[in-house]
Structure 1
């Protein structure tokens, strides 16, 4: 794990390495009386901090900084050693040194800049009264009595739940996996799925969330409502960790599901890794049919997980959460295709009492009665938005029998509603134009208002609460659509 300095995307050792390398480069241009001291101080500082980085793990962002220091070091230190040994000192002509210094300075600047663009994510502190625990479970759908025709799928599900306080030095859950090795596997798979070099996301396995693995469930608060979460196409169960931890800190149990052969990589307890098999064909009709099939499989996975959690609450299996899961108050949620799966699961299964669709295009049949209330958060609509998106989503929301809500949030993009703004470059077309944590804040706040009103029947002025985050359209009894 890399601990960053406050306000900076680098650790203390990384900052010292950058400073030491910069001093070595600047030595050539200092007045003569300062050069020896600067060269010695810069050399010691650079060498010591660089060794620390190599020992703890050198991030790729620091490679150009180290390279610049290694190149500049001999030129800065050679005159110092020459004078000490009595040999004639040599300094490069300014017209030779200047281009070299400019190149080295650019390499040094590239380190912090790339660390800022692709940082190790720092998760916002959950704001609720409960500490957060987490647990990863694995089972086959063939063992839970689900109505399926696929012969059974191995589902890995991560639970975030309200927990008892843990010691301040208790280990926190690695991001993306149970272990750092699993996190590396998943991060490389996510990069590959996105068409990126794997090393660009190597900061993700260094991150730690706020949840404590295996922490005892909270003894206060009674039984907690449940939220099932399906990630985006090719995504991972952990892609909305900040959101899940925020909900758990407010008294919900969130169950994130890895969909086998859909999620970029699913690492099983026996060491096997199930890689994604989802790929677009380029044929619009074929891709639409494939998307419908993937959505059906995901909806069935959500139903299977709910069945399993119901049995878990009754004491079947690991007893950590037995008696604490209120499976009579359940929401289906998801991002992108996961949102489509949540809609379909709720249409098929009356056990779901609410739906949160995070910018998900409703794949599959748009007809059919949707009983529970829906909150659909959508990205800012622009010229590049699929023209079928809003009309199709509107038909789904209008067909519901409950009051449904669509909240379009200015400054957002498709990935704003995930953890992606915490670790991807702030490119508006990718993660929106909000700051790194604002997308998480508004997604969690809107979700909590909706869940409190629908699952807890809390006295929330829901339209007013949602409208404070963006442009709200209400469908049903209290709105005009």
Structure 2
């Protein structure tokens, strides 16, 4: 909740209580409180902006002002009971709603650079789009690039750029009234738009970032901003038709509409990774090389230091791209399953970090487990075969010699901004959002500092780990 929002609700409650506590012979005190309440409401709307979550609070304030104008005496017990009942029922709603659906604040980047963001609409003319029915369609992608800057003169950009047309499209897709999405325009990042790239004695390494399935690049803003603040250029892909939200410059919005295989058909999941997602990542590598002809980035990118980072399905793609593309120097898989066509033990020894959530023991009787599997479209036999196959694949990367970081107390969705969207989410899943983000961001910077900046003072060199909830296994020591 924002500062003026909190102040307005607190003052409204105090003024309401004054109607009971302060003597009728001192009405000027009440009137002063009412005037302050009205002024604060105007200031809150002008400075912080209107959002629908505050409507109950505005109704609370308006009701109080109306009662003050009517000069209530509350001489009868009935009037007192009615007003007390109104406060008991309405005040919690006024407080809880703006907290439950907040204009949240992203974690502040920890690096020495300010950050900026720019976006590109790309078309790969060499690849057909396999999701749409139009045979002439080529693969189109949106890529958001976060990078270091030293100019922060303008206001930081929005978390998501929504024109009224985009807002309407999203609302129709979600089947909700459009006004419910208006508050998102108040959410700000820490990055300015299209600023100049920072000057540096060294060229900046590049990191390709892929979201999960479903997911979108916006959900990884906090990770991208933090890496950019430490001197990395982060190119985050929206994998069109697999992303649950891709916004193109003409306000055309696409959602996730790719037909996905059944859970146990690994060969089809492997094909999506290797034939679509890996090729998307490789195409973005091609694109960032072309930025050397862009005056904004010319001479500032280190094309010999390219890493790839992905979460979940994007994490699976990052491992495959590391093995398939000689231009990739290092990769991170954030809690992703090992899908992809390359499943032989590789001869490459390029650095790889697998970040995973510590698994909980499954508790439940055989009947409840079978019911859960049925809801996923799996039989027990299919599930056992799938588990065995994925375990064998995991052993391949273990033999490969990867770093493995196990996080205690995290969830699969802790690796993006999901739990910032509402405290209800973090309370329900019992996660510590801010600390979790700090741990994840810290380890990512440590890994990419080592592998792309050749820094030899990281945890992977000296073993100094400030977080007890991270356990790291080094290559060939597990």
TM-score interval, normalised by the smaller of the two chains: 0.7 to 0.9
**1:322-401 alignment runs, 5 A limit:** 322-365=298-341, 367-370=343-346, 371=348, 372-383=350-361, 392=390, 395-396=393-394, 398-399=396-397
**1:24-423 alignment runs, 5 A limit:** 24-33=15-24, 36-53=27-44, 57-79=49-71, 91=74, 93-142=76-125, 152-163=138-149, 165-167=150-152, 169-177=153-161, 184=167, 192=174, 202-278=182-258, 284-285=263-264, 291-296=269-274, 297-313=276-292, 315=293, 318-365=294-341, 367-370=343-346, 371=348, 372-383=350-361, 392=390, 395-396=393-394, 398-399=396-397, 402-423=400-421
Distance in 2 of aligned mates of 1:91 and 1:390: 72
Q: How far does the alpha carbon of each residue in 1:312-333 deviate from its partner, in whole angstroms, 9 at most, with x for none?
A: 22x1xx3211222222211111
- Judged with a 3 Å threshold, the aligned counterparts in structure 2 of structure 1 residues 284 and 397 are, in CA distance, closer, same or farther, namely closer
Q: How far does the alpha carbon of each residue in 1:169-195 deviate from its partner, in whole angstroms, 9 at most, with x for none?
A: 422121123x66588579758x93xx9
For structure 2, which runs of at least 5 residues remain unmatched after alignment? Answer: 132-136, 364-382
1:458 counterpart SS class? coil
- Judged with a 3 Å threshold, the aligned counterparts in structure 2 of structure 1 residues 22 and 368 are, in CA distance, closer, same or farther, namely same
Asked if structure 1 preserves the Cα contact closer than 8 Å seen for 2:460 and 2:474, the reply is no
- Judged with a 3 Å threshold, the aligned counterparts in structure 2 of structure 1 residues 417 and 197 are, in CA distance, closer, same or farther, namely farther
Shifted more, 411-420 versus 108-117: the winner is 108-117
- Judged with a 3 Å threshold, the aligned counterparts in structure 2 of structure 1 residues 471 and 216 are, in CA distance, closer, same or farther, namely closer
1:239 counterpart SS class? helix
The corresponding residue for 1:85 is none
Distance in 2 of aligned mates of 1:305 and 1:380: 32
2:113 counterpart SS class? coil
Offset at residue 377 of structure 1 (A): 1.5
- Judged with a 3 Å threshold, the aligned counterparts in structure 2 of structure 1 residues 403 and 92 are, in CA distance, closer, same or farther, namely farther
1:107 counterpart SS class? helix
Asked if structure 2 preserves the Cα contact closer than 8 Å seen for 1:355 and 1:375, the reply is yes
- Judged with a 3 Å threshold, the aligned counterparts in structure 2 of structure 1 residues 34 and 105 are, in CA distance, closer, same or farther, namely farther
Asked if structure 2 preserves the Cα contact closer than 8 Å seen for 1:180 and 1:205, the reply is no
Offset at residue 50 of structure 1 (A): 3.4
Distance in 2 of aligned mates of 1:451 and 1:48: 50
Q: How far does the alpha carbon of each residue in 1:265-301 deviate from its partner, in whole angstroms, 9 at most, with x for none?
A: 21111221122214778x5446x67644543422211
Offset at residue 401 of structure 1 (A): 6.6
1:101 counterpart SS class? helix
Asked if structure 2 preserves the Cα contact closer than 8 Å seen for 1:347 and 1:369, the reply is no
- Pairing 1:439–2:436 present: yes
Offset at residue 252 of structure 1 (A): 0.9
Asked if structure 1 preserves the Cα contact closer than 8 Å seen for 2:147 and 2:229, the reply is yes
1:122 counterpart SS class? coil
Asked if structure 2 preserves the Cα contact closer than 8 Å seen for 1:227 and 1:253, the reply is yes
Offset at residue 234 of structure 1 (A): 2.8
Asked if structure 1 preserves the Cα contact closer than 8 Å seen for 2:331 and 2:353, the reply is yes
Aligned residue-pair number: 447
Asked if structure 2 preserves the Cα contact closer than 8 Å seen for 1:473 and 1:479, the reply is no
For structure 1, which runs of at least 5 residues remain unmatched after alignment? Answer: 1-8, 81-89
- Judged with a 3 Å threshold, the aligned counterparts in structure 2 of structure 1 residues 279 and 444 are, in CA distance, closer, same or farther, namely same
Q: TM-score, normalised by structure 1?
A: 0.81
Match of 2:2 among 10, 30, 48: 10
Q: TM-score, normalised by structure 2?
A: 0.81
Q: How far does the alpha carbon of each residue in 1:79-104 deviate from its partner, in whole angstroms, 9 at most, with x for none?
A: 26xxxxxxxxx646324432432333
Asked if structure 2 preserves the Cα contact closer than 8 Å seen for 1:237 and 1:257, the reply is yes
